[in-house]
Structures are given as structure tokens and as C-alpha cells.
Amino acid sequence: MPLWIALAVAAAFLQNLRSALQKRLTGDMSATGATYVRFLYGVPVAALYLAIVMGVTGAAMPQAHGVFFLYAAAGGLAQIWGTVLLVALFAYRNFAVGTTYSKTETIQTALFGIIVLGDHLSLGAFLAILVSLAGVIAISMAQSHLTLTSFWRALGDKPTLMGIGSGACYGIAAVCYRAASLSLGHPDFLVSAGYTLVAVLTIQTVAMTAWLAARQRGELLVALRTWRVSSLVGLAGALASIGWFTAMTIQNAAYVRAVGQIELVFAFLSSRFMFKEKTSALELAGIALVTGGIVMLIFWR
């Protein structure tokens, strides 16, 4: 199995774990605060990882430059805005439609990858991503009890546009992270990915600290008070990001994000076997499509 696939699968598993841990914080802080601790407590983990990699490999520190920081900042801020849009959707009665449309992230990542980096997809890979996307949408529709008619009729509504915008932000972030890492021109991809991750998390932490200090100062104190759970969120988030950033340094970001959709399979298995939740036929069909799309991508890319 190629390294980038193993990294993407591991990252998806850890991201699912991070999301579960973040839910434990929702009673103590806002969604914004729960997002903030992921960055704040993730910085030292990423920095320690980079130090270990450099120590083991004996590699030199990458030489950062303006283009690198431009991509890192654009990606980091785009990810924050993607999260903000996704959270804002819950204020709308028909938020389920918007969150479903946000799942178009993989296709948008592919488009941005072509525009920014010239990362073109093979026909087989494109078809595999479409199959996987159909599965993701099916799962999302099943969980939110949407019908196909309501899904299409909502096209053009504000929640729908916000969902698509959220997916676009995540797509931009993924491509920018790959572009930032590659722009370093470092011979060791582990160092490039680790260095990029530290830079991005630092930018995100500074930006969100400034925002919370101006708008929700109490969240900063809660982030420190809940350090036990928050540090676990930061640890799981940073480990997941190490997997994402390294995989996207090696391979087309759209391919990585497509394989990463296996996170939905992990979430499904958790709800089915740990929480004994019922499963609909549409969810099972969606899981089959997601899994099939990933297998197609592995063999047809």
C-alpha cells in the first residue's frame, strides 16, 4: 500500500477521534472555542514532532520565504472560515441541506488543485471521486432525512451557498497546504510537511487568539481551564494533521481528501456498534459507494 494512502486512512481515523473529543467540550465552550483549542494545544505537538523528525533524519531546517507564508496563511485562514461557515449553518432551519452541499469539498479540492498547482486528475480518478462523493451525499441525506427533491430545490438558497462556500474553503486550505509544503523545495518530505504544519497552526492560533480576545474573551479562559480534555483534542488533531499534511505533500490533495472520506465509515461503525444506532438502507448504500470509490481511486488513479 502506498504511504500516502496509509497516512490518509490514519489521519481520517484520528480526525474522527478528535471530533468525538471535541463534542465533550461543547457543554463548556462554544463551537468557536472548541475549534480554537484544536490549534492552541496542537502547536506544541507539531513542534515536538518536527524536532524529532529533524533529529532523526539530521535534515536542515527549511528556508521559509514569502510565497510559503502566503500559502500557509491563506490555507490556515481558509480552514478557519470553512469551520465558521459550517458552524453558522446550524442557525438555519434547513441547515441539513447546507451541510450536505459542504461535502462537495473533494471535487472543489480537485478544481483548485488544477488551477493552483496543475494537479490534473486521470479519468479513472475523477470517476472514483464522483462515486465516493455520491456515497457521502447519500449518507448525509440519510442522517438528516433529506429527500432528493428537497436537496435539488434548495440549490441557490443561502444555507446551500454557505455549505458550498464551506466546502470551497476546505478545498482551498488543502491545496494551499500542499502548495506551501512543495514551495519549500526541501529534499525530505517529512520535514517539509512538519514545518508547514507548525507554521499553519501558529498562524491559526494567533489569528483565533486575537479574534477571541476581541469578541469572546471568556473563551480564552475556558480553553485554559479545560486543559485536560482540550489537550487531548489538540493531540488527536495534531496527529491527524501530521497525516494529512504529509500525505498531501506526497500526493495530489484531491486524492488524499477522497481517501480521507473513509472517516465516514469509521463514524458509521462507531454509531452502529458502539452506540447501537439503527442504520437505514440509504446509509448502507452510501457506505458501499464511499468504500467502492476509494477502492476505485487506489487502482485507477
In this prediction, residue 273 has a pLDDT band, given cuts at 50, 70 and 90, of low
Do 268 and 46 contact (CB within 8 A), yes or no? no
The reported pTM is: 0.90
Task: Please state the domain extents for the chain.
Answer: 3-300
Per-residue pLDDT tens over the stretch 153-212? 767 778 888 889 999 999 999 999 999 999 999 999 999 999 999 999 999 999 999 999
Do 289 and 137 contact (CB within 8 A), yes or no? no
For every residue of 153-193, DSSP letters joined together read HTTTSHHHHHHHHHHHHHHHHHHHHHHHHHHT--S-HHHHH
Question: How far is Cα 59 from Cα 1, in angstroms, rounded to an integer?
Answer: 26
Per-residue pLDDT tens over the stretch 117-140? 999 988 999 999 999 989 888 887
Per-residue pLDDT tens over the stretch 71-123? 999 999 999 998 888 777 766 765 667 777 888 889 999 999 999 999 998 89
The three cell numbers of residue 152 are 435539488
